[in-house]
Chain A
Amino acid sequence: MKKLVSIGKASVLFIAVALLPVLAVAQSDAQRIAELEAKTAAMAEALTALQGELKQAKQDGTLANTAELKSEIVKATQYAQRAEKAANEWKNSTAVTHIAGYAAVGYTDEENAMDSFDVANFNPIYHFQYGDRILWESELEVNVGDDGQTEVGLEYSTIDIFLNDYAVLVAGKFISPLGQFRQNIHPSWINKSVSAPPGFGHDGAAPLTDVGLQIRGGVPLGEQVKITYSGFVANGPRLEGEGGELHGIDTDGFASDADDEKVFGGRLSILPLPKLEIGISGAFGDAAIVENDGLGLVGDPSRDYQVFGVDYAYQWGNFDFRGEYIEQDVGNAAGSVASKGGKWATWYTQTAYKFGDAKWEGVVRYADYDSPHGDETQKQWALGINYLLTPNAIIKLGYEFNDGLAGEKTDNDRLLIQVAYGY
């Protein structure tokens, strides 16, 4: 019996020992479940918070903004691309409009005359260009006259057609290509002297403008030497008579030809060095008196008209040398109100020197103008000092020693001040 009891005890013990790990397992499962439950609860909490945030975000529109932002970025990129294209457009456009020109104001203190602010002009230049084929250039001259009236003139207006690398066809009213002063130097911001040399104004020795056709260009001769040319056919000048004499040659450029004979002319120049140009000019044709004693005249016989000129320009270091001779001749005409012809001739030579960091410039010019009329004939020494505010804005102070017929304006010395700006 005792043995049976002990077997029972041993069995219980055995079962208990065998069950121990099971119990242990049961114990760790419970722990894990508890942990999982805790995690789940935490996740549920986080989810609720997230849902809350989401709800809030939807209410705030933050999410909607993100989508909008995306489309904004796309739009902005497209806009930037268009803007970049537009920004470069003007660099690549075929047709270009450009405004240039110059303006000047001046004061003259003349011997035996009133001192006045006597220059106030504004010359706008318009350029309309089509690729490398066409340039339309027009210059207006707007100034205040002695009487306070504003005067407007068409200085030139031409269509320039680039035929090839060596030839441009110029049609319209053009600056006379004869000589150098008129076509290259006369704008006030370019002319280093305050005034034009005697004989280069209206009714003088040098032709101003003409209406017709011109062909011009440049041709290289080898590496360094270059030739330039211009040839034209145009209406030519009109003559004025006064008191039975030929008064002057009006070369303001006319859109009609009073004598029905065209004027042909041109200039040929050579540049043996890049900074040295030597030119020779000539023209011939007919001209007729169309105005006598201030009244219109029709039917006066036409007569020979000729121009001849030579010019040079040379830059050497800070020096600028230039000079020019030009004459206009008119032949005799039997049966005219002024039958005797005449010759208007002038020449000048000018030296300019830049100093003081190219801010200052000294100029000396000598000129000698011969006209059939004694009161126009003049010899002149002109001295000047210029201050260059910029390369195209100049303050000029000049003094002219004039030697003309005693008692005439051409004999009065003058002090001149001018401010000129080319833009």
Chain B
Amino acid sequence: MKKYSWKFPLIVTLAVPLVFGGLFAYQDATAEDTAGSTPADPMQFVRGAKTWANTCARCHNMRDPRELRDDQWQGVVAHMRVRANLTGKEARDVLLFLQQSN
């Protein structure tokens, strides 16, 4: 005899991975971004700057691109991709922006 309604959490829990994980599982992200295999996208820096301005001060103060080296930004952006639920594309754009602005 369940006293608490379990329907809402069940829907959230199951729908979430199924809808988003499953739906996009076939889109292989890495095929798109293997370094050097695609010609440089001139808009990537602009998109990265925009995503940075819109996203990176949402939870904490904005961190200056000059604070860190290219390789350090690599680790941080991967970390933030998970924490802030960035899409792979947003993460790649922001990383490029940060690495070209430090």
Contacts and interface: CB of A to CB of B under 8 A. Distances in A.
A65 interface: no
Contacts of A91: 70-71, 99
B61 to A, nearest CB: 4
A388 interface: yes
A221 to B, nearest CB: 11
A8 to B, nearest CB: 111
A127 B75 contact: yes
B13 A189 contact: no
B85 A164 contact: no
Interface in B1-38: 2-4, 6, 8-10, 12-14, 16-17, 20-21, 23-30, 32-33, 35
A350 B28 CA distance: 40
A220 interface: yes
Contact of B82 (A170, A232, A281, A282): A170
Interface residues of B, number: 58
B33 A331 contact: no
B82 to A, nearest CB: 5
A128 to B, nearest CB: 8
B90 A231 contact: no
The interface centre, meaning the residue of B24, B30, B75 with most chain A CB atoms within 10 A of its CB, is B75
B68 to A, nearest CB: 9
B76 interface: yes
A163 to B, nearest CB: 7
Contacts of B2: 304, 331
Given A166-B87, A219-B20, A313 B82 contact: no
A216 interface: yes
A190 B10 CA distance: 32
Contacts of B23: 166
A233 B90 CA distance: 27
A34 to B, nearest CB: 79
Given A167-B21, A282-B8, A284-B9, A132 B75 contact: no
A229 B20 contact: yes
B59 interface: yes
Interface stretch (A38-46, A114-122, A195-203, A264-272): A264-272
A349 interface: no
Given A274-B55, A315-B58, 5 more contacts: A165-B32, A228-B85, A231-B16, A308-B8, A391-B62
Interface of A: 90-93, 96-98, 100, 125, 127, 129, 131-133, 135, 137, 160, 162-168, 170, 183-185, 187, 189-190, 215-220, 228-233, 264-269, 274-275, 277, 280-284, 304, 306-308, 313, 315, 329, 331-332, 388, 391-392, 422
12 contacts: A98-B75, A98-B76, A129-B78, A135-B75, A164-B24, A165-B89, A166-B23, A229-B20, A282-B12, A304-B4, A315-B58, A391-B60
